[in-house]
Amino acid sequence: MISRRLREAIRPKVLLHACVTALLLCAAAAQADVGAMVKQLIENQRRILVLREVASQWERAEARRAGQYLFFHNQELARALVERITHSLLDMPARYREMTNVLDESAYSDEDRLIVRAALEALSRRLPKNERRDAIRRLARLTELRKLLRADFDHAFQRIPLTVVPPRAAQWAAYVSRISGATSARKILEELDHELVGAPEPIADLTEAAARGHVLEWNGEELPERTVLLTFDDGPHSIYTPAILDILKEHGVHAVFFEIGHNLGEVSHGVATPGHNQSIVSRLILEGHALGNHSFTHPVLPRLNRQLIAREIADTQALIEVMVPEGHGRTHGFRPPYGARDDNVLAQIDLHHLRSVIWNVDSEDWADPVPESIAHRVVREAEKAGRGIVLMHDIHARTVEALPLVIRELRKRGFQFAWWDGQKLVVDPVSGMVAPR
């Protein structure tokens, strides 16, 4: 782990940065224009969908990283939107109307409005009676659209192997075609370039650690044939993580959850204090799952200097060590946000006695609104790779809906599930150990 001396040396600068950022975010939430927030949510979602349509192979990895970046920011923006609308009981009806006025603009379709579904669900539990009735009506309309978009996946799943291209409802295909015609993936990548690419520092003194980080990194190829490891990022979430735990328990599958530090608790003056999600973490461990480190604030790590990278890793690890007893629940895995890592990042991961854990099966649940399509993608990519680490996110409803189908379809095709037992990856008591490199 990082030394106490180094932690204390970098703490004042990082704390000042964190405090300033927190104050700015609080001020922004209080003053934010609700309409502008809704428009940004829709614009980001459109950009995500365009990035998913990238045809050029050379752009694929960057497009996925950029899409995940936009997805995470939309999650934060949606939370801020709910906070802004419900900030004042007196102003709640007016703020809600600001949101619906934008949603009802002719420039937006129901496909666009899907992005506010989670926000509407949260608001429907807190709004006054009249506004709550309106929110429920809007949710019902979006639910009907979701049913339409599911297309004929029952037929698609009967094929072994799956078809390369999943079924797609005509209405959704027309929508994606329309927004793709308004911009291009390359233009979006150029717009995001300054946010995703940093100015790396010299690493002359970290070369050995960086080299070890490269060698030790897991990417799914370490697993035996027909074996997958389910992983979930960005939690814990108060609603969706427990729902996912229910499904995993029902199906007898274990997973690794890569958690964000600020969802786990706080670290101040070297002291890690668990937050309100301690009960979820305790249940997660009790039921045989494991936790991994996913940074403290989910930044693009290559854009940070090495001291800030170290802090992002160390603070989350400190919380894990306080919240998770020694044993099967602790991993030495670190998942870089967006999969973004360079030699500086890999060196810091190694210096913290962790190893990078990436994925080779991306569910794209961060972009796809259709649970059956998400499941189709996971099964198709797992069949193509023959084995793999599956990336999913336990922070929204569509992953919860897709997960049972993912498990059933993978098992139907002869896949087994790996998990972490505290020292190694295992398949089950009969199959024995999965030998990581």
User: Read out DSSP for 151-163?
Assistant: TTHHHHHTSSSPP
Cα distance between residue 209 and residue 234, in whole Å: 26
14 belongs to a structural domain: no
pLDDT at 151: 78
3-class secondary structure, 293: strand
Residues 44 and 153 in one domain: yes
Residues 354 and 411 in one domain: yes
Nearest 5°: phi and psi at 271?
-110, 120
3-class secondary structure, 415: coil
Distance of CA 271 to the CA centre of its chain: 27
**End residue of a domain, out of 153, 175, 197:** 175
387 belongs to a structural domain: yes
Q: Total structural domains in the chain?
A: 2
87 belongs to a structural domain: yes
pLDDT at 199: 58
**Non-local CB neighbours of 16 within 8 Å, separated by 6+ positions:** none
200 belongs to a structural domain: no
Residues 274 and 325 in one domain: yes
Residue in this structure with the two tokens 């990035």, named with its chain if needed: 51
Using DSSP bridges, classify how beta strands 265-268 and 388-393 pair: parallel, antiparallel or unpaired.
Answer: unpaired
Residues 244 and 298 in one domain: yes
- For residue 381, give the CATH number of its domain: 3.20.20.370
Burial class (CB in 10 A: 0-12, 13-18, 19+), 109: middle
pLDDT at 119: 93
**End residue of a domain, out of 175, 196, 230:** 175
pLDDT at 61: 80
pLDDT at 427: 84
Tokens standing for residue 174: 């027309």
- Spatial contact of 232 and 258, defined as CB atoms under 8 Å apart: yes
Bond into 161 cis (ω within 30): yes
26 belongs to a structural domain: no
Cα distance between residue 176 and residue 157, in whole Å: 23
Residues 143 and 220 in one domain: no
pLDDT at 208: 86
Q: Where are the alpha helices (DSSP H) in 104-128?
A: 110-113, 117-124
Residues 306 and 416 in one domain: yes
Q: What is the full per-residue pLDDT of the chain (437 aa) written as tens digits?
A: 333 433 344 344 433 444 444 444 444 444 579 999 999 999 999 999 999 876 566 677 888 889 999 999 999 999 999 999 999 999 999 999 999 999 999 999 999 999 999 999 999 999 999 999 999 999 999 999 988 888 778 777 777 778 777 888 888 889 999 999 989 888 999 888 878 776 555 555 678 888 989 889 999 988 999 999 999 999 999 999 999 999 999 999 999 999 999 999 999 988 999 999 999 999 999 999 999 999 999 999 999 998 999 999 999 999 999 999 988 999 999 999 999 999 999 999 999 999 999 999 999 999 998 999 999 999 999 999 999 999 999 998 999 999 999 999 999 999 999 989 888 888 855 444 454 54
Residues 371 and 251 in one domain: yes
| Domain interval for residue 367 | 205-434
Using DSSP bridges, classify how beta strands 271-274 and 265-268 pair: parallel, antiparallel or unpaired.
Answer: antiparallel
Compute CA distances 295 → 40, 263, 309, whole Å.
Answer: 25, 10, 9
Q: Which amino acid is at 43?
A: E
**End residue of a domain, out of 128, 157, 175:** 175
Residue in this structure with the two tokens 């666009």, named with its chain if needed: 112
Nearest 5°: phi and psi at 392?
-135, 175
79 belongs to a structural domain: yes
Compute CA distances 401 → 362, 395, 405, whole Å.
Answer: 16, 12, 8
Residues 241 and 149 in one domain: no
Which sequence positions are flagged as catalytic?
233, 393
Cα distance between residue 118 and residue 75, in whole Å: 10
3-class secondary structure, 30: helix
* Torsion over CA: 165, 170, 176, 181 (sign): positive
Radius of gyration, alpha carbons of the chain? 22
3 belongs to a structural domain: no
Residues 429 and 383 in one domain: yes
Cα distance between residue 6 and residue 270, in whole Å: 11
Max CA pair span of the chain: 63
Residues 256 and 393 in one domain: yes
- Spatial contact of 303 and 337, defined as CB atoms under 8 Å apart: no
Q: Which amino acid is at 241?
A: T
Which helix (H) or strand (E) covers residue 38, if one does? Answer: helix 34-52
25 belongs to a structural domain: no
pTM: 0.86
pLDDT at 196: 77
Residues 221 and 161 in one domain: no
Residues 288 and 361 in one domain: yes
Q: Which of 96, 100, 67 is nearest to 367 (CA)?
A: 67
